[in-house]
Every structure is written in structure tokens, then in C-alpha cells.
Structure 1
Amino acid sequence: MGAPAIIIASANHPTELSEAFARYEREYDVHLVSDEHTAKSSAKDLITQGHPVALLVIDSDHDQEKLYGLISGTRKVVPTARRLIVSHISRFRTDSPAFRHAVAAGKVDALLLMPQGPRDEEFHGAVGELLNEWNATVAAPVVENVRIITPEKDALTRELLDYLGRVGMPAGVHHPDSEVGREVLAQCPEDEGRWPIVSSLAGWCGHCPSVRALANQLYGRPDEIDVDEVVDLVVVGAGPAGLAASVYASSEGLSTVCLEAEAIGGQAGTSSMIRNYLGFPRGISGMRLAQRARGQALRFGTRFFTGWPATGISPCEDGGHHIVHTEGGDVHTRSVLVSSGVNYRRLGVESLEELVGRGVYYGAAMAAARELAGDHVVVVGGGNSAGQAAIHAARFAKEVTIVVRRPDLSATMSSYLIDEIRWNPRITVRGSTRVVDGGPDDVNQLAWLTLEDVGTGDQERIDARGLFLLLGAAPECGWLPDEVLRDKRGFVLTGRDIPRERWLEDVPPEDLATTVPGIFCGGDVRAGSMKRVASATGEGASVVSSVHAFLGR
């Protein structure tokens, strides 16, 4: 595989763009062409020669019809490449409104002002973000922080890869007979034959039976981290709400511990690209957002325990403190934020449950999408997570079908995602439809699905190699004590949603307070929450003032 390529198409400003992209020539194969025909043929030639195309840079000086033809044509040739329109300062004012819709609809990833001289770091910061996301979601890692050795990429191996992708850790899978495989097996011969074997740059090497075991090896178990004092706040769940609370609480001097059962970022961490989050005009992946927030919280002093879920809370009595229990140890705390999030509901089709990890996935499973190049993929779900998963899968799959029970997506998905899906020629939406059956091929991988019209009952069998299930929310709060009141669906009640007979002295609890003093709730697990990243972040930040008030009392 050759170096990834950057193709620049410009008829009138080749000197300016050539000088601007000279800094990338050490690590990228930079090609400057003058017209759309040459750009398309160059992309085809590079792919044939083993050079993946990472970025396509298009000067807005092209005729608009030809420019859109170039965008559409290269998408068919290199669907995984990022696309950037650059506009000279003499045209930028008129180009901005003309191309705004193209950016909003996802036809291109960004519109930038062409650099006017050296060290235009605002421009290069945006280019760096585009290349960073391409490297994280498409490129094979140059340096593998984790190596997985196995004779076949089974369901567990795919779960490990998905987890490593969510925590931003480059990884590779190697056969035991490969050069890398033999090297790793020489380090831990006692585990040979027990697959998969995992080796990390941190020095650990051995058989890995589960995602939790991998998380424990990478981050340590809770009982291996010394928390011998009563802390001010324990945050249960490191999704957007928990991460925001960790940042704000620790920055304001509260001793803060965050427990995460699996991957930092929660479900939001699986989003390939969040385009409507404040402050990121070109979008940001859920993984990047989560890792930045974790680093910010660590800087202020939050301690993270990753790999063991909370198993219960012993509420305080007579003014004492709460005890949050995990299988690996207890944490004593004056207050608790429950932000454990939700899981995707199960489809309930037995034939497909047996294929989970072999073409059937709950969640976006970004790592699995790469393996479905040229195949048909079905995404079930009508929320933003499903839309983002479909757009990401369409970079690899030949065809993506979104299946929803509702007539369309308008009631459940953000408008910007609907527009992007509508424009993408690889994605179709089938409303009033559900998946009722499916089955494997000769090697026990998903091969076909049966779709049913929810109105007429008519059924159709289709070929499909991937099924991604994003079916809505099942709250993760069965571990909570009965004193924490929940609604009939299992979501935690807070504030004025708590029945009046549970109010103290006929005064409603604070907005994010539960029925137990000192235990608060935020994010998707809270009854009535918006199920959006920004709203969860806001709840996590705002709960800190309530924690301060409670501790003050």
C-alpha cells in the first residue's frame, strides 16, 4: 500500500495551492491537476497503484456544474476521501452562499478561504482535522498500539476492534502464521492456541476473553486504584453528561471519580461524525469529542475507573455518605451523578441474534463497516445515531438501506442528517418497514434479510451482508436501589417529574435531583431527556451547581 494521496484540482491558482500543500508532501502523495477530468482519472490511477486518496481539494474557480460533477464523480471512485472546496479571497463572499447548501448536505466536508500566504494555520488546522478523521476511520494504522492475533476474525475480535476504535487506540489483526503473529506469540507462548491473543505497546500480552478484560488491562481495575477517602462526587457513566460533569466538578475543586463500564464516550462515542455540536463547524467524531473531554477532566483532577460497571449504591443514612459498588471495589462519596446512559433495544428475531458479530451488530460498529466494501448494508433505526451510521457505512458499502417503522425520518432525525441522506446516492430509506428474518451463508456470516411492510404484511427477501441495529433506548439503571424512583419504562425520574407525594415539605426537587438526597441524574437515562449530545452535556455541566448546594447543606 502506497502513501495516501491528496489531489488538488485548480485551473487558476495552482501556485498558491501548491505552496500551501508543500508541507504535506513528506507524508502524502500530493497531486496538482487543472481540470475535473484529470482529477477523476488521477484518482482511479492512484487507487489502482495502491495509493488511497485521503483528500480531494477543489478550487471554486471551476464552473459550478463541472465542480459538482467532479464531486459526484470522484465520490463513486473514492467514496472514503474527504472533500474540500477552497475559494480565493476575490470569490469567497459570493462562493459562501453558493456552496453553503453543499456543505450542509454533506456533498463536501468543508469550504475554506484559500491561504493568502505562509503559515495560515487556521486553514491548515481545518485540513489537519479532515486528514485526522480520514486516518481514524479509513486508513490502516501505521503504528498499532494494540495487536490482535487470531486465525479468524470472529465475533469477539470484532468487538475488541470496535472497542479500540471507540477509545481512539489504533489496532491491527494478524494471523498467527504472519510475521507479526509469530513475533507476538514468541512473547507469550503459554497462551498459544487460545484465541484471540492481544499484545499492547504498554507491555501486556496474553489471551483476551472479553472487552472488559481488555479495558482492565489498558486502564486498570477499580480495586487497583487507591481511593481511600470519601470523595465529593462519583459520576457513573462517561458519556457526554458524565464527562461534562467530571470537567466542571473537578475544575471547581470537587474531588471527582468517574466510573465507566466500557468505553469513554458512551453511545455518543460511536458516532462517526457529529455536525451540529456547538463550536465544531466542520463536525467532530464522537470518539474525538469524548477523548478530548476525558483529557480535559484528567487535567483538572478527575480519576477514571474504566472496565467495571457500577453494581449498586448503598444510600447514606443519618447524614453519612453513599457507597457506590463495583465488582472490583467500592467508592465512598458524598454525592452521585447517575449518567449510565442507555443500551440499544434488542430486535428479538432469534435467527439474527445468532449472527451478532457475524454481520449483525448493535450500534454503529464503525470498524465493521470497513469490511463491507461493495456490499449491501441495512441500518435499522430512525434516530441521529442511525443516520450517522448510514452515512459512515455509505463510504464503504455499495448500497445502504435505512429501515424504519414510521413512514419517514422526519419525526425522529435532525434535518441536516435527513438532507445529507437524501442527497447521498448510495442511501435509500424504506419507511413503514421492519426486519423479520435473516440467515447466514456457508461460512455462517449474514447473507440475507426478510423485510416486512408493517401496513400490508407483504414480505421481501433481500441480499445483505451487514445489519446495524440502532433501535432506541433501553435504560441502564437496573443497578440502582429501589429508593431511586423510575418511570414505567425504567428511566430515572427527576425534578418536577417526581410524584408530588415524594416531595419534601411540598417543595419540588431540583431539576436533576432524584428521590434520594445527594443522588442526581443526567443524560439519556433520565426520564424526559432530549437524547442529544448537546443537551446531555448541558445537564452534566448544570448539575454541578446542585451538587455544590447539596454539599453546602
Structure 2
Amino acid sequence: MTDTLPAPDAPAVVLVSGEHADALTDEFWRYSREYALRSATSCADACTAIEELLAEGRQVAMVVSDSRLPDEDNVLAAFGQWRQLVPNARRLVVAPYERFLADAPRLRAGMAKGKYDAYLLMPRGVRDEEFHHAVTELLSDWNWTSTDPDVVVAKIVAPEGDLVAAQVRDFFDRMGLPTRTALPDSEIGRHVAEHFPDDAGYPRIWAVNRDPVVATSVRDVARSFFDTRAERDLDEQRGVASGVVDVAVVGGGPAGLATAVYAASEGLSTIVLDSSAIGGQAGTSSMIRNYLGFPRGVSGMRLAQRARNQALRFGTRFHTGWEVEELVAGVDGDPHLLRGVDFELAARSVVIASGVRYRSLGVPSVEALVGRGVNYGAAMSLSREMEDQDVVVVGGGNSAGQAAVHLARFARSVTIVVRRPSLSETMSAYLVGEIEFNPRISVETCTRVVDAGGDGRLEWVVLEHTETGERRRRPAYGLFLLLGAEPHCGWLPDDVVRDERGFVLTGRDVPKDRWADGLPPESLATSAPGVFAAGDVRAGSMKRVAAATGEGASVVPLVHAWLAPGDT
């Protein structure tokens, strides 16, 4: 074994190959300033290297293996051994040119089940940036989810178990901003206290070049960090805030972001209003593996931030922390009005992309522990706190499956609780395969959570079999509730017709008595002229990220036709 040790606490990359160990070390030399490189020539040698690195107090960020090893015919079995030692390390298979095509069929099925993260051709020359792009993507994902940031944007100081502090931290995480949390009596807490009055409450949010904030909600922080006075002044100079915009998009999930990108790129003045973090429910997904164009997967946060930056490039204005509480539909060509606590915005057209929210479990003992071990949504910012703990995920959709797979990188055990007889009815096959393969994840079908408790925070849950009524109490340090979807439509007027579940009706689903001149609205148009709907909030939508993105793009031609009917 050979070592390159840049710093005593630097994370490590383990390179495993019987034939190409030196070549891999040379190829990965560019990472040696930030990572300790450890080479090994066999599966057993790599196990020893990993154990030594862990004994040194190092984290292992990635294991890179040749597609064949001298002491293990099946490299996937080798990954199984290494995964037991470092479950959160990223796993990469590289094959030399002469074996790349021959080894691919037997290995790619393992990638679909989550046994490793990527299968790449070993570089044959200098500056193989496609290879290193894949490596840096995986390392970036590991750094974001598995380590505390070296440089932070903001510091959050609050007593342990503060619900608002947890919500603010999750908001920052979803917005792609590294933060650090601390208790009031810590060194960081005392330093931050110097910027606040002595009687200031908690949580306290402090950042360089920002006004200190005592947060009562996520909205306070969103307004402070993403809706500055300078940005509002710029809007007023453009005539956006005080005038009438072409398109107002309510909601910053995949549908709203796609609408913003396509509308702004075609010259329409576009504003996106969102009460919380950009990305919607999709923004909480740890890894979306079936989104077109991302063969190695992409986290919901990164997908949302890339889309936001793309929309900004075309001139979209984002108002984060602006919760729309009322829509007044325009009549006879008048603009629509969107109102909140302290704003009013006029728009020639409105796209409703406010998405859905997770349903409440409705168990009082569980609701009492929200923020203290119980979480609605994935809350990926809490993953590291689940290390070596027992975790329960409730839900049978893709979001629940993605959360379980991610949490299994840290938790001792993850139990998925679902009322249905199987996951395959509601979850994508690739996720079902990953879950079946992962030894840390178990599935309790025909089961529900009926009770929970603990001394100040969650310590246990009670599971009930829905058919037999049998109840079992089991330890749980974290409970993540991803319980289907309820539309967020309470702010809509009666002009916008909804179905019995509250989802917005569009196109031919709109009742015939609301059709104009005997013709139904366009496919994504609502019963209110000039008001459209896209994504999960729309009745009959597919409830998938790609489908929501497609609807967001498809609604823009309809908006164009409404704004300039003579041009179509």
C-alpha cells in the first residue's frame, strides 16, 4: 500500500486494483491536496486500508475499484464488504478499455440496485475531464451530505430542540447555503450573542454582510437573505414590483422553475413567488436517479438550484418568503392580483405551481414531537444526526424510498412503514430494488404508526398491523413522515374550480358550465381566464419531477397565446 497524506484530518479516497493501482494513483493525484489517497491491490487489502483510515479518525469519501480484483471474482461482493465498513462512502467502478464492454452487462444491473454509484472507463490519456466530472460530482455530493462545512454562510444559535431553528437549517440546506448550528452557551453562541441585544430571543441567525435576525419563522430568514432592499429597489426601477408583470408563478418547485426558465427565456417578464425554499417537495429528495440527463442521479436541491440559476440568467425575479394568501382573478382584461401579508402584485397571467404538502399523520403524541425527532418530509440536513440510530420512514412513494436509502448511509437501521401490501404499487422499481438490496433497510407492510413518545424527544414508536391489529413498540430516534400529498390551494378563489380533493381542474376536466362558448379551456388552463396550473397541484397530474417539469414548459405557449392572441 502507498499513502499520500495531505492533512491529519483529511478524508480519504481508497483506490483498489490488482493490475492498475499505480495508474489509478497517478490519475487521482490531482485530488491529493484535499484527500488522503490510499491504494490497495485486493479486496482484503482494501478492507485493511479502510479499517486503518477509520482508526486514524479519517472519513472515507470514496472507494474506487477496478472491475475485477485478484481475490474476489465479483467486485459487487467486494463493495458489499466495504459498505459494511463505510456505508456513506461513494462507490465507483472503473474498467480498463479492454474490459469495459465485456464487464458492463454483469455490473450495470448492480448499479440499478444501488450497489455502487457509477461505472466509468478508466482514463487512457491526460485530462480526461469527463471521467473527473463524474468523480467530482460524487465527491461534491459526499461532502454536502456527510461532512460539516468548512466555510459557512450563516450561523444558527438556539437551544436544543428548537423547532424554528430546525426549520431554518433545513431551509438553508435546501437553498444550497452551508450553515452551522450551535447552542447559546457554546463558543459560537457567545460570539453571535455580541451582535444581538441581551434580551433577544432564539433562534438567532447571524451572517456577514446581513442584518442579524431573531427568527420567528422561515419567512423571516428568507426575506432577510433572499429578498433584500437592493433587490426590491431593482424591481421598482424595472417597473416590476409597482407595475404589471407578464407572468407570476406561484411556487418554486419543478413546474414553477420550468415555467420561469421558458417564460423568461422567451422575453416575458416573470416573477416566482415562494413561501419557502426553492424546489418544493422535490428539493428535499436526496438523490433522483430517474431524471432524464443525469445518469448518475442528482439531488433535488442541486436540481432546483441549477434551475433557479438558469431562470435568473434569463431575467426571472425570485421572491422567497412571499406567501400568497389571496388571488383576485382579473375581469374583462384587468390584471390578476396576488396578495400576501405585506405585498400586492399585479400580473397579466398567473401560473399556479404551488404543489402539494405532506398529509398530517393525525396522532397527537406524534405531532407533539415534531422538531424533536419527528419530521414531515425528508429533512436531509438531519441525516448526520441519525448516525448509529434506529430510524422509521412512513410512506410508500418515491420520496420515502429516496429518504430511506439516504438515511441508511448513516442510521443503524431504517424501517419503512407503509399501509399497502407492497412498495411496488407506488414506488419506482429502481428504488424498490435498492431497498431490497440494502441490509440496513426493512419494510413493514400493512402497518401504521399509532403512538410515539420519549423523554423530551422521540425515543420510541408503536406500530400497528392494519389487518391483525397487533401492536409492537420499537426504538426510534428519528421518524420521517412522507404521507402522500394534499394540494396547497386555500388561497385560490372560487373562480378557479377544484375537484373534491382540492386539486385544480384544467382543460376538459373543468365542468362544462364553466366552458367559454361551448369550448373547454386549454389543457393546462383553469376555469379562470388567464390563470393556468402545472405540476402536482393540478388534478390528474403524474406526481413525478419530470412530468411537473414538462408541464411547466408546456404551459408557456398557452400563456403566450393568452397574452398575445392575435399572434397565434
Question: Which bracket does the TM-score occupy, shorter chain normalised?
Answer: over 0.9
Q: Contact 1:191/1:197 (CA < 8 Å) preserved in 2?
A: no
Task: Give the counterpart of 1:136 among 139, 144, 169.
Answer: 144
The answer to whether residue 503 in structure 2 is matched with residue 484 in structure 1 is no
Q: Contact 2:250/2:274 (CA < 8 Å) preserved in 1?
A: yes
- In the other structure, the counterpart of 1:79 is 87
Q: Contact 1:231/1:332 (CA < 8 Å) preserved in 2?
A: yes
The answer to whether residue 555 in structure 2 is matched with residue 547 in structure 1 is no
- In the other structure, the counterpart of 1:58 is 65
Secondary structure of the structure 2 residue equivalent to 1:524: helix
The answer to whether residue 249 in structure 2 is matched with residue 272 in structure 1 is no
| Residue pairs, 1:305-316, within 5 angstroms | 305-316=319-330
Deviates more, 1:309-318 or 1:152-161: 152-161
Deviates more, 1:280-289 or 1:5-14: 5-14
- In the other structure, the counterpart of 2:473 is 461
Distance in 2 between residues matched to 1:518 and 1:396, nearest whole Å: 48
Q: Contact 2:200/2:214 (CA < 8 Å) preserved in 1?
A: no
Task: Give the counterpart of 2:45 among 28, 33, 38.
Answer: 38
- In the other structure, the counterpart of 1:150 is 158
Distance in 2 between residues matched to 1:192 and 1:111, nearest whole Å: 56
| Residue pairs, 1:379-394, within 5 angstroms | 379-394=393-408
Q: Contact 2:53/2:59 (CA < 8 Å) preserved in 1?
A: yes
Q: Contact 1:36/1:66 (CA < 8 Å) preserved in 2?
A: no
Deviates more, 1:221-230 or 1:70-79: 221-230
Distance in 1 between residues matched to 2:442 and 2:209, nearest whole Å: 44
Deviates more, 1:353-362 or 1:307-316: 307-316
- In the other structure, the counterpart of 1:532 is 544
Q: Contact 2:161/2:372 (CA < 8 Å) preserved in 1?
A: no
Q: Which amino acid aligns with 1:155?
A: L
Secondary structure of the structure 1 residue equivalent to 2:468: coil
Q: Which amino acid aligns with 1:259?
A: L
Q: Contact 1:435/1:452 (CA < 8 Å) preserved in 2?
A: yes
Q: Contact 1:40/1:70 (CA < 8 Å) preserved in 2?
A: no
Q: C-alpha displacement at 1:504, in angstroms?
A: 1.1
Q: Contact 1:223/1:328 (CA < 8 Å) preserved in 2?
A: no
Task: Give the counterpart of 2:342 among 328, 332, 337.
Answer: 328
- In the other structure, the counterpart of 1:180 is 188
Distance in 1 between residues matched to 2:198 and 2:125, nearest whole Å: 57
Query: Structure 1: which 5+ runs fail to align?
Result: none
- In the other structure, the counterpart of 1:508 is 520
| Residue pairs, 1:281-360, within 5 angstroms | 281-360=295-374
Q: C-alpha displacement at 1:381, in angstroms?
A: 0.4
Is the alpha carbon distance of 1:223 and 1:181 closer, same or farther for their aligned partners in structure 2, counting shifts above 3 Å? Answer: same
Deviates more, 1:141-150 or 1:86-95: 141-150
Distance in 1 between residues matched to 2:275 and 2:326, nearest whole Å: 13
Q: Contact 2:76/2:110 (CA < 8 Å) preserved in 1?
A: no
Secondary structure of the structure 1 residue equivalent to 2:249: strand
Secondary structure of the structure 2 residue equivalent to 1:7: strand
- In the other structure, the counterpart of 2:242 is 228
Task: Give the counterpart of 1:209 among 194, 199, 216.
Answer: 216
- In the other structure, the counterpart of 1:26 is 33
Distance in 1 between residues matched to 2:128 and 2:43, nearest whole Å: 26
TM-score normalized with structure 1 length: 0.97
Distance in 2 between residues matched to 1:261 and 1:48, nearest whole Å: 45
The answer to whether residue 532 in structure 2 is matched with residue 520 in structure 1 is yes
The answer to whether residue 203 in structure 2 is matched with residue 196 in structure 1 is yes
Distance in 1 between residues matched to 2:199 and 2:380, nearest whole Å: 29
Q: Which amino acid aligns with 1:517?
A: P
Is the alpha carbon distance of 1:192 and 1:184 closer, same or farther for their aligned partners in structure 2, counting shifts above 3 Å? Answer: farther
Output one character per residue of 1:242-274: Cα deviation in whole Å (capped at 9) or x when no partner: 000000000000010100110000100000000
Is the alpha carbon distance of 1:191 and 1:132 closer, same or farther for their aligned partners in structure 2, counting shifts above 3 Å? Answer: farther
Output one character per residue of 1:222-242: Cα deviation in whole Å (capped at 9) or x when no partner: 977531221110000000000
Secondary structure of the structure 2 residue equivalent to 1:446: coil
Q: C-alpha displacement at 1:333, in angstroms?
A: 0.8
Distance in 2 between residues matched to 1:189 and 1:548, nearest whole Å: 49
Q: C-alpha displacement at 1:151, in angstroms?
A: 4.0
Task: Give the counterpart of 1:168 among 157, 171, 176.
Answer: 176
Secondary structure of the structure 2 residue equivalent to 1:483: coil
Q: C-alpha displacement at 1:170, in angstroms?
A: 0.4
Is the alpha carbon distance of 1:362 and 1:127 closer, same or farther for their aligned partners in structure 2, counting shifts above 3 Å? Answer: same
Q: Which amino acid aligns with 1:324?
A: L
- In the other structure, the counterpart of 1:428 is 442
Q: Contact 1:437/1:451 (CA < 8 Å) preserved in 2?
A: yes
Distance in 2 between residues matched to 1:49 and 1:521, nearest whole Å: 55
Secondary structure of the structure 2 residue equivalent to 1:451: strand
Q: Contact 2:68/2:74 (CA < 8 Å) preserved in 1?
A: no
Distance in 1 between residues matched to 2:77 and 2:111, nearest whole Å: 15
Distance in 2 between residues matched to 1:113 and 1:61, nearest whole Å: 13
Q: C-alpha displacement at 1:189, in angstroms?
A: 3.7
Task: Give the counterpart of 1:495 among 472, 490, 507.
Answer: 507
The answer to whether residue 487 in structure 2 is matched with residue 475 in structure 1 is yes
Output one character per residue of 1:260-300: Cα deviation in whole Å (capped at 9) or x when no partner: 11000010000000000000000000000000000000000
Q: Contact 2:222/2:321 (CA < 8 Å) preserved in 1?
A: yes
Q: Which amino acid aligns with 2:532?
A: F
